[in-house]
Amino acid sequence: MPESRELESFLALAEELHFGRTAERLRVSTAQVSQTIRKLERRIGVPLFTRTSRRVELTPVGRQLRDDLRPAWSAVTAAVAKAVDAGRGVTGTLRVAFGDAAGGQLLAGVAERFRRRAPGCEVEFREARPAEVLPWLREGEVDVVLAGLPLDGRDLVTGPVLVRELRFLAVAAGHPFARWDAVPVADLARVTVLRCALPDPWLDEHAPDADLRPRAGLQELLTLAGAGAGVLPVGAHIRRYYPRPDVAYVPMADAPRLEWGLVWPAGTASARVRAFADAAAELVREPV
């Protein structure tokens, strides 16, 4: 029977497909990951990965094992976390990440409600650039993040939608779009579209050649838009929280609404995370 360390290493490598990143994620050496995977392959009797100097890929047996094992492993880790929480109660520190001022304000309201039901638990806020969201979640830097949905990943859990809002384009004040009542989605093909590193399936479809800025923060992207370097798709809240004389915000005529919710790593949903997610859902359900 494989050891838990072998299964954990296998699932991490199946997600990362890179020995170095897997070692960083598990906080061990690359050599240890390689040795553990080889030991697991000897137990099973077939290769689980194909390895070349440039890439790592799952074999058919490896893909099947990943798909069969992941739900069971998530259930085991969740059960252990639940048992620990039952003994400790909702205590300790919950680390929550957000991306902009609106998200921070929403989470501050959630934290106030959360603290009333869990006075023994502290909430620590961290502001994250888009490119930091997924690494922070997967490396354990934060427990939960408020992010645009969907934030795909078999290793992630998404809570209920907390906010739905219209999509806008941030454009230079002198841009032709700034004089329009609304910009049709089809017109995105005519301009350079600026984007952060987080996935957005709708934008992937309608702006596949967008200028991705993996390390860019919101203010940097707005500055680029204001300088005429491209147009930036944003949610409606951005025009309220980030008014700028060099930027005009124009509605997108036929775009679906943006959705926002809490996301956390699968299998690590502690009582703190569950209680915080419940507080968030209750807060947005209240009439204003």
Tens-digit pLDDT profile for residues 153-207: 778 889 989 999 999 999 999 999 999 999 999 999 999 999 987 778 888 888 8
pLDDT, residue 288, reads 45
| Mean pLDDT along residues 211-232 | 91
Tens-digit pLDDT profile for residues 3-55: 888 998 999 899 889 998 898 888 889 999 999 999 999 999 999 999 887 88
Q: What is d(CA 241, CA 231) in angstroms, rounded to the nearest whole number? A: 18
Which of the two residues, 25 and 215, has the higher pLDDT score? 25
pLDDT, residue 269, reads 61
Tens-digit pLDDT profile for residues 60-104: 999 999 998 888 887 777 777 666 665 455 667 899 999 999 999
Across the chain, the runs of DSSP E, i.e. the strands, are: 49-51, 56-58, 92-98, 121-127, 144-149, 156-165, 167-172, 194-196, 211-213, 232-235, 247-251, 258-265
Q: Which of 233, 231, 242 is nearest to 176 (CA)?
A: 231
Tokens standing for residue 248: 């005009």
pTM here is 0.68
Tokens standing for residue 130: 């888009």
Q: Judge contact between 199 and 152, C-beta under 8 A.
A: yes
Q: What is d(CA 117, CA 40) in angstroms, rounded to the nearest whole number? A: 44
**Structural domains present in the chain:** 4-85 (1.10.10.10), 90-160+260-285 (3.40.190.10), 167-256 (3.40.190.10)
pLDDT, residue 87, reads 47
